[in-house]
């Protein structure tokens, strides 16, 4: 199993900064979410022309892969033009992912809109993701749906995948999302999603008076042993990706602390256990 971290932890960093920290901490890969404050990454000079070529060389020199390219694409809108705009954004991100050798792009379902029912929303999501997958297949880039929003439960995510019917799809499993939203046990989520899981987000947390607080890995209540057992049952050998949500929670420890901490904890708890 390999480890990566999401650049949600360091949204304003440049690619050289990101790669340096990843390599120094012993990561195998990077999950791209924000770079230089931008989430539509295809707009950045870092991912075009000579800078793209330089970054590809630097990744190779550091022994790093791009584990996943995260989009902000959501396909829940009742308006067909808005869903098409999200598909176009996903297609642009998949072009970038292909150049970087990333195996997939992350998308969301995501939220049932006012006045709309669940079945209609599920149909729109499935149709949109299938259309996007049709546009990315020839590039060798899959579309990965994250367990998130109103379809966070594993059975809901699995139902969307079945309706899509595309072999070029998979799941970004975020067991913390599911645990917080529905109380779904990790064993249940892993069993329902099974071989569709392509990428996994992890983070630790603890309960507090006003909800949940993210904490450094190993200092919270996330059931790491349950995850370890689920991964063994799945024979999972892809990326376990540390998602430190500094972008959304600026009060969190800086990425320069949290990112190396996860890698060190992982080697001690999972590799050398």
Query: Which tokens hold the place of 150?
Result: 């109103």
Question: What is the reported pLDDT for 197?
Answer: 97
- Are the C-beta atoms of 101 and 140 separated by less than 8 Å? no
The string of pLDDT tens digits covering residues 203-219 is 999 998 888 899 999 99
CA-based angle 153:91:96, to the nearest 5? 105
Mean pLDDT, residues 158-178: 93
Going from the N-terminus, what domains does the chain have, and what CATH number goes with each? Answer: 2-271 (3.20.20.150)
The string of pLDDT tens digits covering residues 45-99 is 999 999 999 999 999 999 999 999 999 999 999 999 999 999 999 999 999 999 9
Mean pLDDT, residues 138-165: 96
Mean pLDDT, residues 228-257: 96
- Cβ-in-10-Å burial (0-12, 13-18, 19+) of 230 comes to buried
Residue 53 phi, psi dihedral angles, 5° rounding: -60, -40
Q: Taking all residues of the chain, what is their mean pLDDT, rounded to a whole number?
A: 96
- 183 conformational bin, left if phi > 0, alpha if psi -120 to 50, beta if neither: left
Question: What is the reported pLDDT for 209?
Answer: 86
- Are the C-beta atoms of 204 and 216 separated by less than 8 Å? yes
Say what the pTM is.
Answer: 0.97
For 112, the enclosing helix (H) or strand (E) is: none
Whether the pLDDT of residue 271 is over 80: the answer is no
Tokens 């195998």 sit on residue = 28
- Are the C-beta atoms of 35 and 82 separated by less than 8 Å? no
Question: What is the reported pLDDT for 272?
Answer: 55
Question: What is the reported pLDDT for 246?
Answer: 98
Look up residue 42 and give its DSSP letter.
Answer: G
Mean pLDDT, residues 128-154: 96
| Range of lowest pLDDT (75-89, 110-124, 164-178) | 164-178
Determine what percent of the chain is predicted with pLDDT higher than 70: 99
Whether the pLDDT of residue 270 is over 80: the answer is no
Q: Residue 135 — very low, low, confident or very high, per pLDDT cuts 50/70/90?
A: very high
- 166 conformational bin, left if phi > 0, alpha if psi -120 to 50, beta if neither: beta
Residue 13 phi, psi dihedral angles, 5° rounding: -70, 155
Whether the pLDDT of residue 167 is over 90: the answer is no
What torsion, rounded to 10 degrees, do the Cα atoms 249, 252, 256, 262 define? -100
The string of pLDDT tens digits covering residues 12-46 is 999 999 999 999 999 999 999 999 999 999 999 99
């Amino acid at each position: 199993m390999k480890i990566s971290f999401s650049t949600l932890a360091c949204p304003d960093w440049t690619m050289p900064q990101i790669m340096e920290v990843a390599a120094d901490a012993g990561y195998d890969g990077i999950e791209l979410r924000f770079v230089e404050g931008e989430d539509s990454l295809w707009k950045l000079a870092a991912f075009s022309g000579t800078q793209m070529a330089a970054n590809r060389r630097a990744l190779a020199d550091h022994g790093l892969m791009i584990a996943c390219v995260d989009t902000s694409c959501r396909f829940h809108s009742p308006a067909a033009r808005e869903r098409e705009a999200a598909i176009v954004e996903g297609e642009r991100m998949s072009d970038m992912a292909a150049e970087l050798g990333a195996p997939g792009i992350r998308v969301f379902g995501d939220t049932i809109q006012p006045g709309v029912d669940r079945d209609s929303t599920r149909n729109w999501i499935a149709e949109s993701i299938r259309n996007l997958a049709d546009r990315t297949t020839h590039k060798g880039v899959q579309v990965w749906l994250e367990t998130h929003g109103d379809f966070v439960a594993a059975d809901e995510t699995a139902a969307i995948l079945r309706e899509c019917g595309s072999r070029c799809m998979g799941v970004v499993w975020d067991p913390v999302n599911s645990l917080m939203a529905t109380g779904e046990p990790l064993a249940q989520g892993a069993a329902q999603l099974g071989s569709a899981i392509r990428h996994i987000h992890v983070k630790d947390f603890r309960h507090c008076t006003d909800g949940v607080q993210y904490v450094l890995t190993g200092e919270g209540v996330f059931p790491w042993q349950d995850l370890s057992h689920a991964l063994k049952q799945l024979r999972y050998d892809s990326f376990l990706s540390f998602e430190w949500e500094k972008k959304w929670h600026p009060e969190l420890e800086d990425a320069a602390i949290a990112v190396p901490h996860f890698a060190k904890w992982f080697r001690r708890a999972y590799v050398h256990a």
